[in-house]
Amino acid sequence: DIQMTQSPASLSASLEEIVTITCQASQDIGNWLAWYQQKPGKSPQLLIYGATSLADGVPSRFSGSRSGTQYSLKISRLQVEDIGIYYCLQAYSAPPTFGGGTKLELK
Amino acid sequence: QIQLVQSGPELKKPGESVKISCKASGYTFTDYAMHWVKQAPGKGLKWMGWINTYTGKPTYADDFKGRFVFSLEASASTANLQISNLKNEDTATYFCARHNIGTTDYFDYWGQGVMVTVSS
């Protein structure tokens, strides 16, 4: 199985700050990487697919990038509504695997 | 608009069974596979498997072979998850998620989740 190592596990940041979360894949997954945001008591919401494509309705302050097998989610100017837990997902090969999650809190 | 609406919370005793439903609307049900994802309390997301909504063929992750059954009521655009012989460790929220196949694959729409509590 492909392992997705997500970091950091938790992150405290201030409003308007730039936030970056990363996922390291254990092998090549091309652009088969998606990012999700989950708020307490809610289902995950798609933010980024294909490593860099912004999902419909997602604010442009979110962006995704790839460098080899390392994938990053960047929030350019943190807003209150961005607080939650973020997960990456690889769907390149079965079984699909999620990163362990990053809990983003306000400082 | 596209929606996946799941059934309500369940409280069960160990050894009992539970059936969770996921009703799709806003798209052609048989055009997209449906996946199931488990989230134990305070934990991350774990993929359980998927069902081909056109053929009805299920595929299970290794940890979910035996007591877990995916099924369809295609005429009702509904996917079901049944868990038998419930154990305490089955206490979790269970999500259905639609599989989008494009240039890359990902889960684009998710149900709201069903909390299953197993307690004696």
State the smallest CA–CA distance between residue A20 and chain B in angstroms: 19
- Residue A3 has a pLDDT of 98
Which CA distances in Å does B114 have to A9, B46, B88? 25, 15, 16
| Average pLDDT score over residue span A4-31 | 97
Three-state secondary-structure class, residue B89: helix
* Contact assessment for residue B117 and residue B91, using Cβ atoms and an 8 Å cutoff: yes
pLDDT at B104: 85
pLDDT averaged over consecutive 10-residue blocks of chain B (120 residues)? 98 98 97 97 97 97 97 95 98 97 90 98
Mean pLDDT of A86-105: 97
Mutate: best of A49, A56, A85, A103, partner B, most B CBs <10 A: A49
DSSP designation for A55: P
Strands A19-25 and A70-75: antiparallel
- A25 in reach of chain B (CB within 8 A): no
The verdict on A91 touching B (C-beta cutoff 8 Å) is yes
Nearest 10 degrees: Cα torsion A28, A48, B94, B98? -90
User: Chain-centre distance of CA A53, in angstroms?
Assistant: 12
Contact yes or no for A91 and B46 at CB 8 A = no
The pLDDT of A76-100, averaged and rounded, is: 96
Give A90's strand partners. Answer: A33, A97
